Structure 1
Amino acid sequence: MKRYKVAVAVMVINAEDEFLLVKSRRGWEFPGGFIEDEEAIKDAAIREVKEESGINIELMKFLGLEQDIERTTCVFLFKGRPVSGKLTSSYETEDVGYYPLDEVMNMISIEHFKERIIRCLNDEEIPSIITR
């Protein structure tokens, strides 16, 4: 019997309406990752953003849930805003930065990550539950 893995991804938008992206081996994406044992989901979201980007955030809103049946993974999506910190890559990230939406859509190469952004920006679809 397979066990589901639980992860988080956070759409962080700064005061200039730029999006925080991190570049990993998969390419550019929202910061995020797996929840550790005995860790609260919201705490994991804050921790993952800090670990991958150097930025401390405040969570603003729950945006939705994505279930990947084949990979037995559920990803909780949040919106956050930066409160402190300095952009810094980590052992998990090759690069990190804030970018305007038009650049973001060109930088992200994984199609379902682009679809995620569109959903997260559409108030009528929040919260969303997506199964793939």
Structure 2
Amino acid sequence: MDTSPRHILVAAAVVININNEILLINSPKRGWEIPAGRVEEGESLSAAIIRETKEETGIDIEIVRFCGVFQNVQDSVCSTLFLGRPVGGEFRTSNESYEIGYFSIDEALSKITWRGFKEQLEYCLNQTEPFLYEYNN
């Protein structure tokens, strides 16, 4: 029996356009949220969020900076967070995104209902240094 720990590693991004608006997707799982997804085996964290953003929104992004690591200790999930900016592509929905849009910071914060993503957005916008944030559900 394998007793090695099993963790889920996620990459997420706060993508801000030139109008200082946040890119959000309306997903079937959690409603409005920032682009995010699991890191695949052999994939870098930054490559994972660039890929996930493209898959979920059709938008190509460039990483501006690393914002930090969020850990849900209870569910053994580690989420890395990046700040990004759009560099190309066009909106395209997928099975992971019913709607896509750019929203003002206040609109984005009011649309996101999942606590983890709301906290990540707030921290990324207000932090200048990477950080580690741990929580239990």
**One fold, TM greater than 0.5?**
yes
Corresponding residue SS for 2:20:
coil
**Aligned residue number for residue 27 of structure 1:** 31
TM-score, normalised via structure 2 length: 0.91
Instruction: Indicate yes or no: 2:127 matched with 1:131.
Output: no
**What 5-or-longer segments of structure 2 have no aligned partner?**
none
> What does residue 60 of structure 1 align with?
64
What amino acid is the match of 2:107?
E
- Per-residue Cα deviation, 1:77-117 (whole angstroms, up to 9, x for no partner): 00000000001111111111101011111111122322221
**Paired letter, 1:10:** A
User: 1:114 & 1:6 partners in 2: Cα distance?
Assistant: 19
* Aligned Cα root-mean-square deviation (Å): 1.1
Show the 5 A alignment for 1:1-132: 1=3, 2-25=5-28, 26-124=30-128, 126-132=129-135
**CA distances 1:12-47 after superposition (whole Å, capped 9, x unpaired):** 000000000011121111101001111111110100
Give the number of equivalent residue pairs: 131
Amino acid at match of 1:57: I
- Unmatched 5+ stretches in structure 1: none
Equivalent position amino acid for 1:74 in 2:
C
Structure 1 residue matching 2:79: 3-state secondary structure: strand
> 1:67 offset after TM fit, Å?
0.7
Whole-angstrom distance in 1 between the partners of 2:55 and 2:22: 17
